[in-house]
Structure 1
Amino acid sequence: MQTYFHTVIKDSRLKAGLSKVTAARLLSVSERTLASYENGSVGVDDEMAVRMAQVYKCPAIIYYWTQDNACGRMWLPKIDNNCCLSQNILSSFASVNAMQKDYIPQLVVIGQDNKIDGTEQGLFVKIREKGLKPLMKSTISLLFTAIKKADPLKNRSAF
């Protein structure tokens, strides 16, 4: 069952600057069907998620669609799509640094015999949770960072 994906697709359509009418036409669905997707009363299938990602020019839709099902929730980290580029870069740098310094040497030792034995299992789980998953999260976040041209009028104070 999709839990929050409907808000992602609506936000993505709005960020793409598309009205419901235009988006429905581009997706080859009725406005009513699109509204049902966006309010969560009808789930989106694989093909529609891909079309939405293409039409809205938002590849993150595929990630969120996958993350919003049981398998995705089990393995994919939740990312904050509202983080800024500099925050995502710093997070990625910290994750890469931790992997290089703390975890890669241990992974090399674990992987020398091409298996994870009982004595290595606990260490491998620690590396997966404390090293690999944060690295995956920061990398995915960086890939999906919304890069926008600064609007010089947006942050101007009123006189």
Structure 2
Amino acid sequence: MNKDFAKMCYFARLETGLSVKNASSLLNICERQLNYYESGQKNIPDDIVAKMTKVYVNPELGYEYLRQTKTGKELALPAINMKGISSRTLQLRVCVKNVIDVLSKLDIIACDDVIDQKEVNDFLDCMKQIQLLSGACVGIRLFRQIKKIRTDGNSTDFLDNINLNF
């Protein structure tokens, strides 16, 4: 894995309000090991990433981890916007518009079931827009409300009772 993913794990832990001590306890690893992972000094094993995804309530970690693996690269998993829901929604709208704009070009290319040499660049442009739309859709799907803990200890996360498993 890379340092960017390690940093993502670090920030995911901070967003949940967990200390290194608490997180390492929940992940069943020692504090030093978590520090190594978060600093990018050691690769994070699959099972620890899976635990982080659950403990930090952050499905984006698991997705980004898979996206960076050899299998994820072979699947051409799209990058996702890691910002807030408003940014992700705007990105989705822009991507939908861009795909609509290239659909007529794609229709012309595909109508004969052949992509000839002079159509390749236009086809690749269409595929790029579709890939960006795919990433925007995944970004919306993987969004999670960051839990804010009130002074009385209760979560203010309105998504707690909503089942998002489609």
TM tier, shorter chain? 0.7 to 0.9
Equivalent runs, 1:7-86 vs 2, <5 Å: 7-68=7-68, 75-76=76-77, 78-81=79-82, 83-86=83-86
CA separation of 1:148 and 1:4: change in aligned 2, threshold 3 A = closer
**C-alpha deviation, 1:119, in angstroms:** 3.0
> What count of residue pairs does the alignment treat as equivalent?
148
Deviations 1:101-140 (A, max 9, x none): x2223333433454533232111111123x1233133223
Residue in 2 aligned with 1:108?
A: 107
Q: Secondary structure at the match of 1:4?
A: helix
Q: Which protein has greater RCO, CA pairs closer than 8 Å, 6+ apart?
A: 1
Deviations 1:36-95 (A, max 9, x none): 1011111112222122111111000023223445776794555442x3322221221121
CA separation of 1:117 and 1:3: change in aligned 2, threshold 3 A = farther
**Residue 137 in 1 paired to residue 135 in 2?**
yes
CA separation of 1:13 and 1:86: change in aligned 2, threshold 3 A = same
CA distance in 1: counterparts of 2:50 and 2:12, whole angstroms: 13
User: Normalised by the size of structure 2, how large is the TM-score?
Assistant: 0.72
CA separation of 1:23 and 1:143: change in aligned 2, threshold 3 A = same
- Which amino acid letter does the alignment assign opposite residue 147 of structure 1? Q
Runs of 5+ consecutive residues of structure 2 not aligned to the other structure: 150-166
- Name which of structure 1's ranges 141-150 and 19-28 shifts more when overlaid on structure 2: 141-150
CA separation of 1:42 and 1:18: change in aligned 2, threshold 3 A = same
CA distance in 2: counterparts of 1:27 and 1:149, whole angstroms: 19
Residue in 2 aligned with 1:118?
A: 117
CA distance in 2: counterparts of 1:3 and 1:15, whole angstroms: 18
- Name which of structure 1's ranges 113-122 and 39-48 shifts more when overlaid on structure 2: 113-122
CA distance in 2: counterparts of 1:45 and 1:136, whole angstroms: 27
CA distance in 1: counterparts of 2:39 and 2:3, whole angstroms: 11
Runs of 5+ consecutive residues of structure 1 not aligned to the other structure: 152-159
User: Normalised by the size of structure 1, how large is the TM-score?
Assistant: 0.74
**C-alpha deviation, 1:7, in angstroms:** 1.0
